[in-house]
Amino acid sequence: MKIFEFLKKYTVVVRRYINNGVKYCKNSFKRLPELKNFFKNISSITAGFDTKKYAPLAVAVVFSLVAGYSLSFINKSDDSEKSIEAVNYIQYQPAETTAPAETSEEIVTGSETERPDLLEDSFSKTELEILHTNFKPSEQIESEIMQLVNNYNKTCSFYMVDLTDYAVFGYNSDTYIPTASTIKCPFAFYCYNEIEKGNHSFDETVLYKSGYYSSGTGVLKDYGNGTYYKVGDLLYYMIHYSDNVAFLMLQDYFGYEGYNEMISDMGFETFINGQIKWGKLSSHELGYIWTQIFDYRNECEEGAIFYEDLVYAGSNFFNWPFTEAGYEYNIAHKSGWASPGYHDSGIVLSDNPFVIVVMTESEGETRDSSFFYNMSLTLNELHDEYLEYMGREPSEKGVKSPSELVPENSRAK
């Protein structure tokens, strides 16, 4: 019975490859050692058998297994909306017979337990894209959005994600734009992850050298060099004050390679180095990282500290349109402006929180006359329409953020 146990084992392996499909073939490579062992052990397993009698069977089995493995690279999975984590769970758990869940044919979207793969999304450079839902905006809202875009006459981009259902809204979201200070958010995300892993600590110190001096935003530029600062304090200065000196000190201390690997592993193509310290980002890239930050806040102490600093970060461009329109929500964010470049990215902490990123090539904005101002409010209206479609309450003016989304400001003096 030795050969039949062997065939049963490796038939299951190949079936996994077939079910996995193209979308998850990268994850399937983890199982390659089993197939290598299959070919390696053929001779030992068939030893002692009548080769003339079993040769046709062995050839047929090997051919079937190789064919099945090859098909895994061209077979399209019916589970294309499932996350990699969900698919892994399905692959390695025993099959269960359960009644199909009731679903609505009119509403199609992601969910908290079955999150779509936001990294696989792509976006048009000429029209509004709405993904992971069959919601359609009103003609008025869609027209307002495209009119703002068409009248701008410069490069612009936006990205929005509902953090309950993970429906996505975007325009030109894959175009890379000079970051200004928005780069400080993903770089801080990398630093906090390194501290969580034990590779660094908040109490380590970095010497402020004259070469780190940078004009522009921040407070450290006003102090003399030659002072040691704790990593935890530099992270706070970089986010709260958008401190350029702190950013350059942390870049030099943590390095570029690990950050670039993190971005590359996400599937994005941007990078920084000793000569390109600010680089470029897409609104898709920034928005995706914000979805990770929202999860990270509940995963560890480092994530909670990072999130708190973002909630109370200064230079909040989104506060202008939202506050003047009557909304009182907190907005965790990281903005950036340069020449050219006027961006903000973050999470609107309403009862139905959502990620919002707006990037422009403006050199400065003047509130109600600006593209940024009007686009931010119009995207909020688009999100409200989506909430109504989903049967949830739209945003309310004069209502504060839910307390569970707004941590106490432990750094307030």
pTM attached to this predicted model:
0.73
Round to whole Å and give the CA distance between 82 and 85: 8
pLDDT, one tens digit for every residue, the chain (413 residues)? 444 443 333 333 333 333 333 333 333 333 334 334 434 444 444 444 444 444 444 444 434 433 443 333 333 333 333 332 332 322 223 333 333 334 344 555 544 448 999 999 999 999 999 999 999 999 999 999 999 999 998 999 999 999 999 999 999 999 999 999 999 999 999 999 999 999 999 999 999 999 999 988 999 999 988 999 999 999 999 999 999 999 999 999 999 999 999 999 999 988 999 999 999 999 999 999 999 999 999 999 999 999 999 999 998 999 889 999 999 999 999 999 887 788 999 999 999 999 999 999 887 665 545 899 999 999 999 999 999 999 999 999 999 999 999 999 998 75
Round to whole Å and give the CA distance between 317 and 364: 11
Round to whole Å and give the CA distance between 320 and 406: 19
Q: Residue 369: what pLDDT?
A: 53
Q: Residue 212: what pLDDT?
A: 94
Round to whole Å and give the CA distance between 333 and 8: 54
Say if residues 283 and 125 touch (Cβ distance below 8 Å): no
Angle of CA points 96, 102, 103, to nearest 5°: 120
Round to whole Å and give the CA distance between 353 and 350: 5
- Write the DSSP string, 13-38: HHHHHHHH-GGGHHHHGGGHHHHHHH
Say if residues 370 and 296 touch (Cβ distance below 8 Å): no
Q: Residue 341: what pLDDT?
A: 83
Burial of 114 by CB count in 10 Å (0-12 exposed, 13-18 middle, 19+ buried)?
A: middle
Q: Residue 364: what pLDDT?
A: 66
Round to whole Å and give the CA distance between 347 and 171: 18
Q: Residue 412: what pLDDT?
A: 75
Angle of CA points 116, 117, 122, to nearest 5°: 110
Q: Residue 361: what pLDDT?
A: 87
Q: Residue 366: what pLDDT?
A: 56
Where do the H-state alpha helices sit in 72-207?
84-92, 139-152, 184-196
The phi and psi torsions of 333 (rounded to 5 degrees) equal -160, 165
Q: Residue 385: what pLDDT?
A: 98
Give, in order, the Cα–Cα distances in Å from 395 to each of 43, 190, 310, 325, 379.
68, 32, 21, 12, 12
Q: Which residues pair with 206 in a beta bridge?
A: 229
Q: Residue 287: what pLDDT?
A: 98
Q: Residue 411: what pLDDT?
A: 83
Q: At a CB cut-off of 8 Å and minimum separation 6, what does 77 contact?
A: 19, 20, 21, 22, 23, 24, 87
Which of left, alpha, beta for 173 (phi over 0: left; psi -120 to 50: alpha)? alpha
Q: Which residues pair with 281 in a beta bridge?
A: 177
